[in-house]
Chain A
Amino acid sequence: MPLGEELKDRGWCTGAVVPQGMLPAIAQHLAPPGAAAVEVAEADWLVVVSQTCDVVARTLEAEPFVEVLHCKPIKKPRTQYRDFRSTRILDFRPNRETHEAVALTAHAVADRYLVPRELLRDQTPDGNRHLSSKAAQRIMAWYALRAGRPSWPDAFVKRIDKDSEDALEAAIEPLKEDIAEVRIGIAEKDQELGDDQTYHVAVYFIVDAEIWEGDVEGRVAINTAFATFVSKLNGCDGIEVDQGLSEVVSGDEFTWQETRATDEWNFANLSHRE
């Protein structure tokens, strides 16, 4: 039987947890470069974070390794590390249905290891622990965000202090329902400006076309959020919002060109100053 099918039959997939009994077999692979292998405590979760299609790839040559993430228990998710606030550290609930009170934390790079895929062949995942579908999606989205986020200038990021960041986050709280996307263009996006120079920013709230056409209350929330967001961002010293360009726009009207000229606003984009 091809390796991929075998692993699939055994239940290996994104979000599967490596069982304690399997740790001795893979211990040598759980070591940072030049360091001793880490200890995986019984309460820790060693989670498969490769995409399922890669985990069950037909041949070993196609995907020689699987990626696993060493997650450690914490009391509860911390504000600065949950909900994609940081691209370095993620605090999350692994499975509310099976482990309601458990919260975990992991570092995107320092806690990630490559394990030869063939070592999974004779094993089955932990039968009592696995990530919920939502938790697995969140981890994959977190990695995608880390890899795909724009690199904004440090000098720009520093001008958004903690209070402003909190105010901006509060402003766009109503958009969490996925009714609109915030995009910003930074004219000087490749420049580290001096203190006496200003970053010029265009802000767009792109409204889901269905909301734009049929949900007045949704549009009220979006327009309120836009006004507050622009006001708060413009209030940051050294950042000027271009009032001639910034708009609330229907998703049917925001073009591909405009998408390419702007970045999705994400608080993770500010996290490299940590």
Chain B
Amino acid sequence: MSDIIEARFCNAQRATLLQRRPSTIIDAVESFHPAVPMQFYGGGELHLVGSYRMGTKLTGSTRTVLIVDTDVLLATSAIPTVTVEDFDAESWSLWSKASKEAFQKATTAAKAAPSATAPLRVKRLAALQAALGLSTSDLAQALGLSRPGLYKWLDTSSDVKLRGASLERLAAVERIAKQWRERSTAPLSSVSNEPLADGRTVLAMMIADQVDEAAVVGAFDELLAMLAVKPKTRSQKLAEAGFRRRPSAKSLLSDE
């Protein structure tokens, strides 16, 4: 474990390398692992903090490089830019030191002052999930996000801003969800993976790079017909036969 950035009690969600910690980023870069190009992302306010590649067109050479995206948000603006040309051991040391401070500052700031708009964003996504019922992975794809990216959107302590293509995609998926919700109380996921007459599935249409809203909505009548003849689940059969689940302890509501 690197002693440059200490892992102890850093919030992993705000500094992740495939859900790992800032120290892992540092360790990975320090180890100069030559096998694969990698990109390191921080969650929450922390965007691309560095990438490390071997023999890519970025460098035109076989040396390991470290770059820092200058388009990071305020929280990580303290991280200095290190370019290919001036990268050396000293600049690495400076970068890692500054990164540590920026990570810690961002984590503290995020905990202290969650965005006022975050709950609204979360409710918006929750409404979307309620109508669609997709798995987190499928919903992330439908929104053009990675799974960690979707969790970042769902994080009430995250100040992530929805803008540009992301916002447009979200709006498109919301319009689809609204259309479905007007037609059924069941989640779209109940039938979204069923093949349509043309062999496609609505799920595939929704996670495509370009979502064709008209085509998706146009398939709804076909999906509703499938929903109507969908076999009953075991729990539905049990309920219809009079077998009901016991109430849980928490349903014994307080007398207060």
Using a CB–CB cutoff of 8 Å, the interface residues on chain A facing chain B are: 76-77, 82-84, 92-93, 96, 134-135, 137-138, 141-142, 144-145, 175-178, 181, 195-196, 198, 209-210, 212-217, 219-224, 226-228, 230-232, 234-235, 237-238, 240-244, 246-248, 250-252
Q: How far is the CB of B185 from chain A (nearest CB, A)?
A: 5
Contact across chains for B8 and A196 when beta carbons are under 8 A apart: yes
Chain B residue with minimal CB distance to A251? B235
Quick one: which of A84, A196, A215 contacts B7, CB cutoff 8 A?
A196
Q: Which of the candidate stretches B89-97, B206-214, B245-253 sits at the interface with the other chain?
A: B245-253
Top 6 nearest A-B pairs (CB, nearest first) are: A219-B130, A223-B126, A93-B255, A141-B249, A237-B9, A224-B126
**Smallest CB–CB gap between A180 and chain B, Å?**
10
Say if the beta carbon of B156 comes within 8 Å of chain A: yes
Report B45 CB to chain A, min CB distance, Å: 14
B236 within 8 A of A: yes
Q: Is the CB of B11 within 8 A of A234?
A: yes
B251 and A223 contact, CB distance less than 8 A: no
Q: List 10 A-B contacts (CB under 8 A).
A: A93-B255, A181-B248, A214-B185, A219-B187, A220-B123, A220-B127, A227-B126, A237-B11, A243-B136, A250-B133
Q: Which residues from chain B contact A219 at a C-beta distance below 8 Å? A: 129-131, 133, 187
Of chain A, the residue at the smallest CB distance from B129 is A223
Residues of chain A within 8 A (CB-CB) of B233 are 209, 252
A142: B residues at CB distance < 8 A: 249
The B217-242 residues at the A interface (CB cut-off 8 A) are 233-236, 239
Given contacts A141-B252, A219-B187, A246-B136, 6 further A-B contacts (CB under 8 A): A77-B256, A181-B248, A198-B7, A213-B185, A227-B125, A234-B12
Is B254 within 8 A of A144, CB to CB? no
Partner of B157, one of A178, A231, A251: A231
Q: Which residue of B lies closest to A175 (CB)?
A: B250
Q: In the complex the two chains form, is A178's CB within 8 Å of B255's CB?
A: no
In Å, the complex CA distance between A244 and B158 comes to 18
Interface residue? B122 (CB, 8 A): yes
Complex Cα distance, B247 from A214, in Å, reads: 19
How far, in angstroms, from A238 to B7 measured CA to CA in the complex? Answer: 9
CA distance A96 to B256 in the complex (A): 10
Q: Do B136 and A247 have beta carbons less than 8 Å apart?
A: yes
Chain A neighbourhood of B236, CB < 8 A: 209
Interface size class of B (residues with CB under 8 A): 35 or more
Q: A83-B254, A176-B251, A240-B19 are in contact. Are A234 and B13 (CB under 8 A)?
A: yes
B185 contacts A215, C-beta separation under 8 Å: yes
B184 to chain A, nearest CB (A): 9
B186 touches A (CB below 8 Å)? yes
Distance in Å: Cβ of B172 to nearest Cβ of chain A? 19
In the complex, what's the smallest C-beta–C-beta distance from A152 to chain B, in angstroms? 18
On whether A235 and B252 interact (CB within 8 A), knowing A223-B129, A224-B123, the answer reads no
Pick the interface stretch among B55-63, B146-154, B194-202: B146-154
Interface string of B8-39 (1 = CB under 8 A from A): 11011100000100000000000000000000
Known: A82-B256, A195-B9, A216-B181. A227 touches B156 (CB 8 A): yes
Query: Do A210 and B239 have beta carbons less than 8 Å apart?
Result: yes
Interfacial chain B residues near A96, Cβ < 8 Å: 255
Within 8 Å of chain A (Cβ to Cβ): is B69? no
B126 touches A220 (CB 8 A): yes
Name the residue of chain B whose CB is nearest to the CB of A176: B250
B147 pairs with A244, CB closer than 8 A:
yes
**A235 close to B249 (CB less than 8 A):** no
Question: Are A228 and B122 in contact, with the CB atoms below 8 A?
Answer: yes
In whole angstroms, how far apart are the Cα atoms of A226 and B254 in the complex?
A: 23
Among the interface residues A215, A219, A238, A242, which one has the most CB atoms of the partner chain B within 10 A? A219
Question: Which residue of chain A lies nearest to B230 when distances are taken between CB atoms in the complex?
Answer: A213
CA distance A178 to B147 in the complex (A): 28
Give B79 Cβ to nearest chain A Cβ, in Å. 23
Q: In chain B, residues 115-134, which have Cβ atoms closer than 8 Å to a Cβ of chain A?
A: 122-123, 125-127, 129-131, 133
- Asked if A176 contacts B253 (CB within 8 A), the reply is yes
Q: Are B19 and A242 in contact (CB under 8 A)?
A: yes
> Which residues does chain A contribute within 8 Å of B127, judged by CB atoms?
220, 223
Which one, B8, B123, B148, contacts A243 given CB within 8 A? B148
